[in-house]
Amino acid sequence: MNTSLELNTEYPPPNEQAFIDSLINELRKKMEADYAGKRMLRDAHPKMHGCIRGEFSILPNLTADLRVGLFGESRSYPAWVRFSNQNNSAAPDKKPDIRGVAIKLMGVTGNKLLTQANPSTTHDFVMISDSRFVTKDVEEFDGLIRGLIGGFLKLGWYFLTHLRVLRNLWSSLRNFNNPLTIRYFSVAPYLLGKRAVKYTLIPRDAGRTSAPRNPSDNYLKDAMAEDLKRRTAMFDFAVQFQTDPYKMPIEDPGITWDEAISPFLPVATLTIPCQIFDTPTRSEFGDNLSFNPWRCLPEHRPLGGISRARRQVYKALATFRHKRNHSQRVEPGADDPDPR
């Protein structure tokens, strides 16, 4: 336990790698069992509501502390945006769940942390519908996965001995009426130059946190398809500086950073124009994409144990998934695979 914490600083525990290895092992075995004889989907966030074309625009006139890395120049990037449910099976959307958004920008020059050997011009952001993650670190997350795989008694014991995980999980499983009206959070911190920040994506048009009456199994996709027939959807992308290393820890994404202490500051917009996205070609395209928070410029390096684990876990499991499906893992361009 650290007695004194500094701002913008990571504190990796000595045994972290053993829990990362265990996670990769456990999840690989689980995916092998879940998808025996079938096309393999992502272990987390397998159900996609849509892979949507968008545009990510950096705001002009940002203050010097925000004008860093990607946000250094006011310009627009084409983006692919994948909306998903977290649940590891394709359950009906009315089941309370964490919802995800993954954004891939195209045309971002400069080496990315993930792909130094194989340079790409893509840059990813990965976010969820809650402001805090379920666990504080990799050890606690590995325990949760072992509990989930191990059956009722093991899971029950895990929750009894990890009450905060139970509380965080319970409060993050919610209903929404449209993925385009959800507020999303990075949960984990990132560098912005030399300082630590968290990200949020705020819909201009906020929706209700409830399911409609008599919802269809895929009502989130249906709501988005209806919406994008008639309007352009807009989000603000904002960053929140870490200003207190105790109340806003780097090594515990299970704690929300209080906006009263440090407000979110807008740096970009995400515009989603009217479009038809619900086609087999676009769905296959979205399924074959892989997102990774480490596919980013070094100025935006992910911070904290959960992200140190994700660097290895996402890469290992995305490679495993593509190999099993005999599909090639390639970074896309802005060209629409199904223009209409």
Q: What CA–CA distance (Å, rounded) separates 218 from 234?
A: 22
Q: Residue 110 is which amino acid? A: G
Site membership for ligand HEM, residue 318 (CB under 6 A): yes
CA-closest candidate to residue 33, choices 151, 156, 147, 149: 149
Q: What CA–CA distance (Å, rounded) separates 29 from 150?
A: 13
Q: Of 149-157, 209-217, 234-242, 311-319, which segment contacts ligand HEM by CB under 6 A?
A: 311-319
Q: Could you tell me the two tokens for 209?
A: 């946190």
Name residues whose C-beta falls within 8 Å of residue 284's C-beta, 6 or more positions apart in sequence. Answer: none
Q: What CA–CA distance (Å, rounded) separates 294 from 301?
A: 7
Contacts to ligand HEM from residues 141-170, by CB under 6 A = 141
CB of 62 or CB of 187, closer to ligand HEM: 187
Contacts to ligand HEM from residues 69-128, by CB under 6 A = 82, 84, 100, 102, 126-128
For the CB of residue 309, give the shortest distance to ligand HEM in the complex, in Å. 4
Site membership for ligand HEM, residue 290 (CB under 6 A): yes
CB-CB contact of 306 with 133 (8 Å): yes
Q: Of 109-117, 185-193, 225-233, 270-278, which segment contacts ligand HEM by CB under 6 A?
A: 185-193
Site membership for ligand HEM, residue 133 (CB under 6 A): yes
Q: Could you tell me the two tokens for 198?
A: 């968290």
Site membership for ligand HEM, residue 237 (CB under 6 A): no
Q: What CA–CA distance (Å, rounded) separates 244 from 238?
A: 19
Q: Of 39-47, 103-111, 205-213, 256-264, which segment contacts ligand HEM by CB under 6 A?
A: 39-47
Whose tokens are 């038809």? That residue is 276
Contacts to ligand HEM from residues 252-281, by CB under 6 A = 253
Between the alpha carbon of residue 133 and those of residues 12, 122, 141, the distances in Å are 18, 26, 10
For the CB of residue 230, give the shortest distance to ligand HEM in the complex, in Å. 25
Site membership for ligand HEM, residue 23 (CB under 6 A): yes
Site membership for ligand HEM, residue 239 (CB under 6 A): no
Name residues whose C-beta falls within 8 Å of residue 112's C-beta, 6 or more positions apart in sequence. Answer: 119, 120, 122, 123, 294, 295, 296, 297
- 300: helix, strand or coil: helix
Site membership for ligand HEM, residue 189 (CB under 6 A): no
CB of 67 or CB of 146, closer to ligand HEM: 146
Q: What CA–CA distance (Å, rounded) separates 129 from 87?
A: 13
How many chain residues are in contact with ligand HEM, going by CB under 6 A? Answer: 30
CB of 186 or CB of 269, closer to ligand HEM: 186
DSSP alpha helix (H) spans, 201-297? 219-230, 280-288
Site membership for ligand HEM, residue 132 (CB under 6 A): no
Q: What CA–CA distance (Å, rounded) separates 74 from 20?
A: 38
For the CB of residue 308, give the shortest distance to ligand HEM in the complex, in Å. 9
Q: From the centroid of its chain, how far is CA 31?
A: 20
CB of 77 or CB of 80, closer to ligand HEM: 80
Site membership for ligand HEM, residue 42 (CB under 6 A): yes
Site membership for ligand HEM, residue 315 (CB under 6 A): no
For the CB of residue 79, give the shortest distance to ligand HEM in the complex, in Å. 13
The site for ligand HEM (CB under 6 A) is made up of: 23, 27, 42-45, 82, 84, 100, 102, 126-128, 133, 138, 141, 186-188, 253, 290-291, 306, 309-310, 313-314, 317-318, 321
